[in-house]
Every structure is written in structure tokens, then in C-alpha cells.
């Protein structure tokens, strides 16, 4: 039997269960039949996703993998082959190295990508955890370039959203920024008290000079661990000269065994915190956030990350990890990452109200990006209760020529002053204040000024 795509060699055999001359009702089934050709590609449809992965990775330059292969020993599996297998496995929601290795042995698209080679799970895991890690961003960028060249993406409409992912860390190993500041302040007060006691009880002027003037610390002086180390060494040196001085011995022991290690710990905590308010001891990069999956319904904070993902035509174009729980503060860093990865900004950015802020709107306007981003009160302003609320300035009338506002009661509010508010990000919000001559006797005052 000959077809357009394949040639089937049929062996005719006498079947003892079928009477001679009778017609069989079934297609012949023999497991020892050999089929030609034996190319696995013949069994993969032309529009199959595995072909897209294969074409995209083939565009990679072999040189990007060279740094991860110093040479020596037996020949390694080709990095392109392993990259294809791993990326295609991820598209099929297969993440376990053992399951990927099993698919390479049993699944036709995987077998075709691997060229019938069979890397074991250790090889796959070692490649993606060590060698592939440094080139992952490059691979991602090349695939995006391939999608752009094939007109799958155009960066015309960029949809961005965030999701919080719980870190693989103990949820009870939290460190809070405010607690660190409080404990550090108390510790410094103890240091001041300790040296003040030494100064108060020391009567000899020579000793006071050798003690590096502890009284000059002052109540408001900030003591660093380096400075406290020097002061501790000074006391220990004096203790060598006066080994029987119990007061010095106790002070030096307290500094060396208690106060100095604690101060060093608090400084290390502050360094890990940065501008965050918390971190996990078992995963210092994770910040404590409220997750969407709150099974106990008590708003429990868990260590995690805020992952921002942007898509177009259901393709992920960019992703970024953030240590901030709110999407508002992640928006600008994510767009900067998009520009770095793709070489330009999207024409239009679409996001939900979680990204709506004056700072973000100003950034979109500055970079000439069309923003389809709701602000926080967008849906509330559509409600009847909002429109009937006389206390909302959105329901007042603004006269641009006179720079005045008119309230629902007919009172005119004139401009008085301008103030500024600087956010944590450094963005400056300018506020204009208006005032009416008098609201006394107004029937709407109670509803307007509450």
C-alpha cells in the first residue's frame, strides 16, 4: 500500500482464526510490522507548537552557550536540544525533571526535538539549574524577536497584570522594619547608659582621656557597629591594665557578648530590608504580603513576590519580579524592564485600576505611551450615590478662567495656596487649596464638610 507521505510494507500471513476465503471485519493489526519512512516529523502536524519552539531556538547563536561549557570530559548533550525540550515541556505544563525525561522517552514531539536522544533527569535538572540560568533572558529575547518577525506580536496593545506568588520560606520567620528600628534605638540607649555609668563612676582624668571621652557621645549620637567595636576594644585594653576592675569587666563582657552582636544583627537586617518594611529570614528576598489565596480568611501575611506579566495575543512579552505588594509601585520598573528587553515601549498599555496613580499617568504621558488604565474611583464615580454626594469635588463646577470652584450651594471658592507632597518613590504631588468666604448657615455644610 503506497500513500503520498509514507510507504507501508505489508506482510501477508495466513490467519488461523479466519476461515479461508472469508472477509475480515478489522484492519490488520500486527505489532511487529515495520513502517517506512521512520522520520518522527511525519507524525507532527505542520501547525504544531513544537515546530514553533524548534524554529525559535534554532535562531540562537551557539556562542551564547559556550561560556557554560569549559570543555574536558566526555561530550555533552547539545544545549540547543536541551533548551528546546525544557521550553516545550513548560508549554505543556511539565516542570518535573523526571517527567520531562519520561516524555523524551515516550512522547513523539519530545522525541523529535531530542533527535531520539535520551538525557536523564539529572542531566536535565543540572542544565536548567546551572547552565541555562545565565542565558535564560537571552533565549527569551530571541523567541520574542522570532514572534515579532513572524507577525505574532507587534507591541501595539500591551496588557499588564500582577500576581503574588508565595515564596518557599517559613511564614513565621518574619523580620519587621519598624521592630528593627525600635530595638536598635533601645540598644543604643543601653550603650549610652553603659558609658554614662562608666563616666560617672570614673574619677581619674587620665582614665577619662584613655576611654576616648565616652561622655562626648551625647544622648542623640548614633552609634554604629564599627564605632562600638572600637569602644569595646578600648575598654578591653584598659581591662588588661586593671584585670580586677569588676565594673570594666562587666561592661566589656556586656558589649562583646550582647550589645555589639545585636547591633551588628540589626544593621544587617536594615541592609536586607532596604526600602521594604519586612523580609523572611529563610528567604531574605521575599517580602510579607497578603495573598489572594487566603484559606483562613484572616488576612494573614505570607512571604512572597509580586510578579508582573505583560502579554499580547496571549504571548508573554515580559515579566519582572518585585518586592512590593502593590501593583502601583511596580508599574514603572516593569515598563522600564520592557524597554530594556524589547528595545522600545509598547504603543498602548492596558491595565486595571490597581495601576492608576498620578505618578503612573505622568510617566505614560512623558514617554508618549497611550494608557488605558483606570483610576481607583472610576467605578464609584458611576454610581448614583457618588453623583448625589455634595461633598465630592467632582460634583462641583470649576471656572478655568477665574481659577475658582463653585459648590452645589452656590458658594465660590478662591485659590489660597499650593502645597507639595513627596511620595516614597520621590515623585512630587502638587496640591492646590481653595477656600470659600464662609460656610456658616449653609444647609449643606454638614454633608459637605463631613
List the domain range (segments joined by +) for residue 197. Answer: 175-268
Same domain? 291 vs 342: yes
Domain assignment present for residue 164? The answer is no
Other C-beta atoms within 10 Å of 187: how many? Answer: 19
Domain boundary among the residues 154, 187, 219 is at 154
Tally of domains in the chain: 4
Same domain? 361 vs 390: no
Same domain? 291 vs 208: no
To the nearest 10 degrees (0 to 180), the angle between helices 246-254 and 177-201 is: 170
How far apart (Å, rounded) are the C-alpha atoms in residues 325 and 301?
11
DSSP string, 224-264: PHHHHHHHHHHHHHHHHH-TT-HHHHHHHHHIIIIIHHHHH
Which positions ≥6 away from 9 have C-beta within 8 Å?
A: 33, 34, 35, 36
The three three-digit cell numbers of residue 3, written as one number: 500513500
How far apart (Å, rounded) are the C-alpha atoms in residues 43 and 99?
22
CB 101 within 8 A of CB 121: yes
pLDDT at 243: 81
Domain boundary among the residues 349, 373, 397 is at 373
Same domain? 412 vs 440: yes
Q: What is the DSSP letter of 18?
A: S
pLDDT at 420: 93
pLDDT at 148: 84
Same domain? 144 vs 57: yes
Domain boundary among the residues 373, 402, 421 is at 373
Q: What is the DSSP letter of 127?
A: I
pLDDT at 34: 79
The three three-digit cell numbers of residue 409, written as one number: 450651594
Which positions ≥6 away from 121 have C-beta within 8 Å?
A: 96, 97, 98, 100, 101
Does the predicted TM-score (pTM) go above 0.75? no
DSSP string, 338-364: HHHHHSS--SEEEE-GGG--HHHHHHH
Same domain? 133 vs 218: no
Domain assignment present for residue 8? The answer is no
* N-term to C-term CA, the chain: 89
Select from 335, 337, 381, 377 the least CA-distant residue to 356: 377
Same domain? 149 vs 188: no
Domain assignment present for residue 399? The answer is yes
The three three-digit cell numbers of residue 402, written as one number: 477665574
CB 58 within 8 A of CB 78: no
Which positions ≥6 away from 197 have C-beta within 8 Å?
A: 251
Q: What is the DSSP letter of 218?
A: -
Domain assignment present for residue 18? The answer is no
How far apart (Å, rounded) are the C-alpha atoms in residues 160 and 308?
7
Same domain? 231 vs 137: no
Domain assignment present for residue 274? The answer is no
Which positions ≥6 away from 158 have C-beta within 8 Å?
A: 310, 311, 312, 317, 338, 346, 347, 348, 349, 350
pLDDT at 342: 86
CA 139 to chain centre: 20
Please say whether the dihedral angle defined by the alpha carbons of residues 379, 380, 384 and 387, taken in this order, is positive or negative.
negative
Same domain? 51 vs 143: yes
Upstream peptide bond of 319 is cis (omega within 30 degrees of 0): no
Other C-beta atoms within 10 Å of 286: how many? Answer: 25
How far apart (Å, rounded) are the C-alpha atoms in residues 418 and 401?
18
How far apart (Å, rounded) are the C-alpha atoms in residues 97 and 123?
9
pLDDT at 21: 61
Domain assignment present for residue 105? The answer is yes
Q: CB under 8 Å, gap of 24 or more: what pairs does 218-224 form?
A: 219/192, 221/192, 222/188, 223/188, 223/191, 223/192, 223/263, 224/263, 224/267
pLDDT at 63: 85
CB 152 within 8 A of CB 110: no
Same domain? 224 vs 250: yes
How far apart (Å, rounded) are the C-alpha atoms in residues 355 and 373?
7
Select from 354, 372, 375 the least CA-distant residue to 364: 372
How far apart (Å, rounded) are the C-alpha atoms in residues 102 and 119?
10
Domain assignment present for residue 73? The answer is yes
Strands (E), 48-156: none
Domain assignment present for residue 228? The answer is yes
What is the chain's pLDDT, residue by residue, as a tens digit (450 residues)? 444 444 444 444 545 555 656 666 788 788 887 777 678 888 899 999 999 899 888 988 888 888 788 877 888 999 999 999 999 999 999 999 999 999 999 999 999 999 999 999 999 999 998 888 878 878 888 888 888 888 888 999 999 999 999 998 888 888 999 999 999 888 888 888 888 877 776 655 444 445 444 445 555 567 888 988 888 888 888 888 888 878 888 888 898 899 999 999 999 999 999 989 999 999 999 999 988 776 666 678 899 999 999 999 988 999 999 999 999 999 999 999 999 888 899 999 999 999 999 999 999 999 999 999 999 888 888 899 998 888 888 889 999 999 999 998 888 999 999 999 998 888 999 999 999 888 888 888 888 876
Select from 193, 226, 189, 196 the least CA-distant residue to 211: 196
How far apart (Å, rounded) are the C-alpha atoms in residues 189 and 262?
13
Please say whether the dihedral angle defined by the alpha carbons of residues 415, 416, 422 and 426, taken in this order, is positive or negative.
positive
Same domain? 363 vs 389: no
Same domain? 368 vs 414: no
Q: What is the DSSP letter of 40?
A: G
pLDDT at 108: 94
Amino acid at each position: 500500500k503506497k500513500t503520498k507521505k509514507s510507504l507501508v510494507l505489508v506482510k501477508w500471513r495466513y490467519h488461523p482464526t479466519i476461515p479461508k476465503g472469508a472477509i475480515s471485519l478489522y484492519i490488520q493489526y500486527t505489532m511487529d510490522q515495520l513502517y517506512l519512512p521512520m522520520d518522527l516529523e511525519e507524525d507532527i502536524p505542520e501547525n504544531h507548537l513544537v515546530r514553533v519552539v524548534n524554529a525559535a531556538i534554532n535562531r540562537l547563536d551557539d556562542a551564547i552557550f559556550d561560556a557554560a561549557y569549559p570543555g574536558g570530559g566526555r561530550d555533552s548533550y547539545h544545549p540547543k536540544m536541551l533548551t528546546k525540550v525544557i521550553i516545550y515541556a513548560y508549554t505543556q505544563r511539565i516542570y518535573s525533571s523526571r517527567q520531562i525525561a519520561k516524555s523524551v522517552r515516550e512522547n513523539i514531539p519530545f522525541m523529535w526535538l531530542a533527535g531520539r536522544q535520551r538525557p536523564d533527569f539529572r542531566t536535565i535538572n543540572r542544565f536548567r539549574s546551572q547552565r541555562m540560568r545565565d542565558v535564560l533572558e537571552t533565549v527569551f529575547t530571541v523567541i520574542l524577536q522570532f514572534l515579532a518577525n513572524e507577525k505574532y506580536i507587534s507591541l501595539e496593545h500591551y496588557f499588564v497584570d500582577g500576581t503574588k506568588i508565595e515564596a518557599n520560606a517559613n511564614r513565621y520567620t518574619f523580620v519587621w522594619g519598624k521592630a528593627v528600628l525600635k530595638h536598635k534605638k533601645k540598644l543604643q540607649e543601653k550603650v549610652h547608659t553603659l558609658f554614662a555609668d562608666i563616666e560617672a563612676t570614673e574619677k581619674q582624668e587620665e582614665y577619662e582621656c584613655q576611654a576616648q571621652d565616652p561622655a562626648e557621645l551625647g544622648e542623640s549620637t548614633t552609634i554604629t557597629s564599627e564605632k562600638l567595636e572600637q569602644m569595646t576594644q578600648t575598654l578591653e585594653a584598659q581591662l588588661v591594665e586593671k584585670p580586677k576592675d569588676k565594673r570594666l569587666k562587666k561592661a566589656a563582657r556586656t558589649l562583646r557578648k550582647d550589645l555589639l552582636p545585636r547591633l551588628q544583627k540589626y544593621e544587617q537586617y536594615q541592609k536586607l530590608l532596604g526600602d521594604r518594611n519586612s523580609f523572611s529570614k529563610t528567604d531574605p528576598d521575599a517580602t510579607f504580603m497578603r495573598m489572594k489565596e487566603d484559606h483562613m480568611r484572616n488576612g494573614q501575611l505570607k512571604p512572597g513576590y509580586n510578579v508582573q506579566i505583560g502579554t499580547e495575543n496571549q504571548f508573554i512579552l515580559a515579566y519582572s519580579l518585585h518586592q512590593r505588594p502593590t501593583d502601583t509601585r511596580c508599574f514603572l520598573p516593569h515598563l522600564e524592564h520592557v524597554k530594556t528587553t524589547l528595545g522600545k515601549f509598547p504603543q498602548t498599555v492596558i491595565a486595571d485600576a490597581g495601576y492608576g496613580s498620578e505618578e503612573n499617568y505622568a510617566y505614560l504621558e512623558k514617554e508618549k505611551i497611550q494608557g488605558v488604565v483606570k483610576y481607583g474611583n472610576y467605578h464609584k464615580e458611576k454610581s448614583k450615590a457618588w453623583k448625589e454626594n455634595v461633598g465630592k469635588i467632582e460634583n462641583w463646577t470649576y471656572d478655568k478662567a477665574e481659577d475658582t470652584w463653585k459648590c452645589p450651594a452656590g458658594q465660590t471658592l478662591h485659590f489660597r495656596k499650593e502645597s507639595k507632597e513627596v511620595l516614597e518613590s520621590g515623585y512630587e504631588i502638587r496640591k492646590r487649596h481653595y477656600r470659600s468666604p464662609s460656610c456658616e448657615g449653609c444647609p449643606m455644610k454638614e454633608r459637605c464638610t463631613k
